[in-house]
Structure 1
Amino acid sequence: MNPKKIIMLGPSPTAKGGMATVTDIYRRSGLFEIWPTTYLTTYRDGNAWTKIQTVTTAYLRFTRLLLGDRVQLVHAHVASYTSFWRICLFIFTALPLRPKIIIHVHSGSFGRFYEQSGPIRKKIIRFTLDKADRIIVLTDYTKRMMSNITSNTKIVSVPNPYIPETSFKGKGRRKNTILFLGNVGENKGVYDLLSAVKKLKIKYPQIKLVVCGKGEIKKATEFADKLGIGNLVEFPGWVSGEEKNRLLRESTIYALPSYYEGLGMGILEAMSAGTPVVASNAGGIPDVVEDGVEGLLVAPGDVDALAEALDKVLSDGKLREKMGAAGQKKIASQFMPEQVLPMLSELYSQLGVKPTQPGKT
């Protein structure tokens, strides 16, 4: 008789975004071999038909496993908005059969999502979270935020793991180059970053801002042109793999002036690459970046403070070196899979799941 399984629900490993990166690291680190895990892809990038087909295929297989009494635990990765409602379909289907349920919240804007929801949707959100046997969040900030939404007290902070890139061979740092990775839009502070670069262009006429990601690229390009810095900004779109690693290693600063943030994978990637971080003090960022140690933090929306912080790091090579080394040290001591995966293993054990490879938990 086959043992009962953990069903992990999440995006395709090729999808764009931090959640896909995290679940792929779980796979690459051997989590699915240590624990009896079946991964069901509930989201793929693409057109509407691709997305419908993906979630339908996952749901049908999920239902078969549930009805076959094969599921002991459901580990669902969620963000906000559509991501949350999509996963609700699976959780509501599972509830009558009573497997253990982990809801793994990756979004730093979940509180905003909740506040923007109407009364009925708020009740559904609370009901869903209340039914979870564990809620995993990424930082202590997110834990406090979720405690204001749900009466469920079984909220556990488990950081995202990161595997440092060891095979990259870079050309060295590009002078006065600022890198942004993420969704291009107001929530991530992209327009504030563009405005800050305008303030710096007189002192640094060769400054370069590289804005990588999907989203409001056309609007951001037009805004840069309006500011008179269009020639100083590059929009290469979404980058991954060797191209992303090259940019991280060659950039002078990684910037993330978000208004809402959980635990951005870009910050972990930058710290691992030895790149100083200039970011907002929003959400879970201060739980990862200590102001003045691995980088500098400013208030969201404060363009003057953002420009000053960027200037301070750009103008001080010794400070950049010190911050870069501190970032690499923190990644090695707190965010490697060997530090993070045992936290998941402990949760699985607490919920009664038996590992496939007991000696490796």
Structure 2
Amino acid sequence: MGGRGRVLVLVPDLRLPGGVTHYYATVDLDRHPSIDYFYVNSADPETALGTVMRLVARYGRFLWLLVFGGYRLVHVNPSLNARSFYRDGVFIGLARLLRRPVLITMHGWDEEFAREVAERSWLRGFFRATFARVQGVIVLGKLFQERLQGLGVPQSTPFWIDTTVAEPPANPAPPSPVEEACVQVLFMSRVLESKGIFVAMEAVAMARSRLPDTRIVMVVAGDGPDLERAKDRARQLGLEDVLFTGYVRGPEKQRVLAQSDVLLFPTWYGEGLPCVVLEAMSHGLVVITRPVGGIPEVVQPGEHGYLLESTRPEDFAEVLVRVIGDEALRQRIAEANRRAARRFGKEAVEARILEIHASLLGDPLT
């Protein structure tokens, strides 16, 4: 960090797992001489008091960089949840205090917290003094634009609707370690109940019982607080052969995606636009998920996969059985997804971000 770049991009510590870190590690914007990354948190273990002290120190460092670092634009990457709201709201307020224009990319959305912001006057006031006074907003779907405007972002504020980024698939794809006759179903996410891990496992168990002559392999790629519960549940369901890989990145992540046929992701979490959906599409996987966050902006039902309003395992099992039993359907969706995913590539996303930065650097601060 540091230097005399024109744009300071606030990001999580890139050693951490998660969609935002994946996004900025992939596009690698700070290789440009005009852009620097500033970490808003740390991957190092620390106590609650240590976290507060480090955050205060970061605010001080941030002010110093704005005063002496030559930065003309601040790009903040919040989610609308309690932790990000306060932390990133202060960064936005400090930038506004020093009359630096601010661009935000809203990555995630907690519905319950959004209702609190709308209903509690002091939260709404903080939002309107910070998030609602930025010079531009990137959202992951039209729905988020409408909701932010409903919370107080002016209609006159420029909005851009853009996707997250997907790493391009390895070429050629590595061979699968399981027999060709199998279908590999992938759950790739933090292992949380609200991400749909238990629904996914139950759906796979049901699909196996309905397709006894088809070898269905399930891979769970990720870690999280519900990992041990998920392993216990797999044993209870008779899924002792589920492969739990833990958190994967880089070549290992590419290998897991390349070997899979279906992404099963029954999430009801406060998603923005999960990177895994785009990465699955770029690798030609059939996407079976829910219409959460910005997912409906990129997954057209029947063309790229299936969106289910339900959270019932039976409903996901029914779709899974249909997809597994129809190889021609899988091939058609795979080809459509690879074509659609071209606009999620690193170069395309990077070019759009740089264009947005350039447009705001040329605008007067209001």
| Deviation readout 1:187-210 (Å, 9 max, x if unpaired) | 212221122122222134543322
Q: Measure the CA separation in 1 of the matches of 2:54 and 2:167.
A: 28
Q: Measure the CA separation in 2 of the matches of 1:182 and 1:11.
A: 18
Unaligned runs of 5+ in 2: none
Which residue of the partner structure matches residue 322 of structure 1? Answer: 332
C-alpha contact 1:173 1:252 (8 A) present in aligned 2: no
- Determine if the alignment matches structure 1 residue 197 to structure 2 residue 204: yes
CA, structure 1 residues 245+54, in 2 after alignment: closer, same or farther (shift >3 Å)?
A: farther
Which residue of the partner structure matches residue 82 of structure 2? Answer: 81
Which residue of the partner structure matches residue 355 of structure 2? Answer: 346
C-alpha displacement of 1:248: 0.6
Which residue of the partner structure matches residue 159 of structure 1? Answer: 163
| Deviation readout 1:273-299 (Å, 9 max, x if unpaired) | 112111112221111111111212211
C-alpha contact 1:258 1:300 (8 A) present in aligned 2: no
Q: Measure the CA separation in 2 of the matches of 1:235 and 1:145.
A: 37
Q: Measure the CA separation in 2 of the matches of 1:300 and 1:254.
A: 17
Question: 1:303-318 counterparts in 2 under 5 A?
Answer: 303-318=313-328
Taking only aligned residues, the RMSD between alpha carbons, in angstroms, comes to 2.5
The 3-state SS of whatever aligns with 1:341 is: helix
TM-score by length of 2: 0.86
- Determine if the alignment matches structure 1 residue 336 to structure 2 residue 345: yes
Which residue of the partner structure matches residue 183 of structure 2? Answer: 176
C-alpha displacement of 1:134: 1.0
Q: How many residues align?
A: 347
| Deviation readout 1:226-271 (Å, 9 max, x if unpaired) | 4x23414332221111221111111121111111422110011111
Question: 1:264-279 counterparts in 2 under 5 A?
Answer: 264-279=274-289
The 3-state SS of whatever aligns with 2:339 is: helix
C-alpha contact 1:177 1:208 (8 A) present in aligned 2: yes
TM-score by length of 1: 0.87
Indicate which of 288, 291, 297 corresponds to 2:298: 288
- Determine if the alignment matches structure 1 residue 132 to structure 2 residue 134: yes
C-alpha contact 2:11 2:76 (8 A) present in aligned 1: yes
CA, structure 1 residues 135+234, in 2 after alignment: closer, same or farther (shift >3 Å)?
A: same
Question: 1:4-153 counterparts in 2 under 5 A?
Answer: 5-27=6-28, 31-32=29-30, 34=32, 36-49=34-47, 55=55, 58-68=58-68, 70-79=70-79, 80-107=81-108, 109-116=109-116, 119=120, 120-153=122-155
Unaligned runs of 5+ in 1: 355-361
Q: Measure the CA separation in 1 of the matches of 2:97 and 2:53.
A: 25
C-alpha contact 1:281 1:300 (8 A) present in aligned 2: no
| Deviation readout 1:286-340 (Å, 9 max, x if unpaired) | 11111111212211413222111111111111111111111110111x2223433
* Dislocated runs of 4+, deviation >6 Å: none
C-alpha displacement of 1:184: 1.5
CA, structure 1 residues 53+225, in 2 after alignment: closer, same or farther (shift >3 Å)?
A: farther
Q: Measure the CA separation in 2 of the matches of 1:245 and 1:343.
A: 24
Q: Measure the CA separation in 2 of the matches of 1:192 and 1:292.
A: 21
* Sequence identity percentage: 26
Q: Measure the CA separation in 2 of the matches of 1:56 and 1:165.
A: 40
Q: Measure the CA separation in 1 of the matches of 2:239 and 2:125.
A: 46
